[in-house]
């Protein structure tokens, strides 16, 4: 179980980092769509990690509970990795990003109230979003892959 979690968390984190770097070349609107697609794609490794454990390490058997445990841990580690990437980007690489993004959102719709976030708050928000999406993918994957 541990090796599946480490292996597929690493894949999710690496895919997230590489996609994150690729997204730096897009404008705000395109990057937002690309960012969510990257999150979902990074979390597809949850499905593959659960399936790998079931098929390669557990003789083709998987309980819903075990699938949830594996998927949630892969989701958590992937979320932490993407949160760290977000923090590094907004704190070090482009410290003006949050202000620029807020101004762009305000220009699109002046009635939108923009919260001012620190890099740490933005990273925690990203971590939470990734983990919640990972929870949903874990639930679906565990239901699909369970076998007695």
> Among 82, 91, 92, 104, which residue's Cα sits nearest to residue 27?
104
Q: What distance in Å separates the CA atoms of residue 98 and residue 37, rounded to the nearest whole number? A: 20
- Give the total number of structural domains in the chain: 1
How far is residue 132's CA from residue 90's CA, in Å, rounded to a whole number? Answer: 22
- Walk along the chain (148 residues) and give the pLDDT tens digit of each residue: 889 999 999 999 999 889 888 887 888 778 888 988 999 999 999 999 999 999 999 999 999 999 999 999 999 999 999 999 999 999 999 899 899 888 888 888 888 788 888 999 999 999 999 999 999 999 999 999 999 8
Q: Which pLDDT value is given to residue 107?
A: 86
112: DSSP letter: P
What is the four-CA torsion angle of 114, 116, 118, 123, rounded to 10 degrees?
A: -20
Q: Specify the pTM.
A: 0.90
Among candidates 77, 68, 60, 70, which has minimal Cα distance to 140? 68
């Amino acid at each position: 179980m541990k090796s599946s979690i480490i292996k597929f968390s690493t894949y999710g984190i690496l895919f997230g980092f590489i996609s994150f770097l690729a997204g730096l070349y897009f404008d705000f609107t395109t990057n937002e769509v690309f960012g969510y697609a990257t999150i979902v794609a990074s979390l597809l490794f949850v499905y593959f990690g659960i399936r790998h454990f079931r098929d390669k390490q557990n003789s083709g058997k998987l309980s819903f509970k075990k699938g949830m445990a594996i998927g949630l841990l892969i989701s958590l580690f992937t979320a932490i990795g993407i949160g760290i990437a977000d923090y590094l980007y907004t704190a070090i690489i482009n410290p003006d990003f949050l202000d620029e993004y807020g101004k762009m959102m305000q220009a699109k719709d002046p009635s939108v109230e923009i919260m001012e976030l620190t890099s740490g708050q933005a990273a925690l928000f990203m971590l939470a979003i990734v983990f919640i999406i990972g929870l949903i993918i874990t639930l679906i994957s565990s239901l699909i892959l369970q076998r007695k």
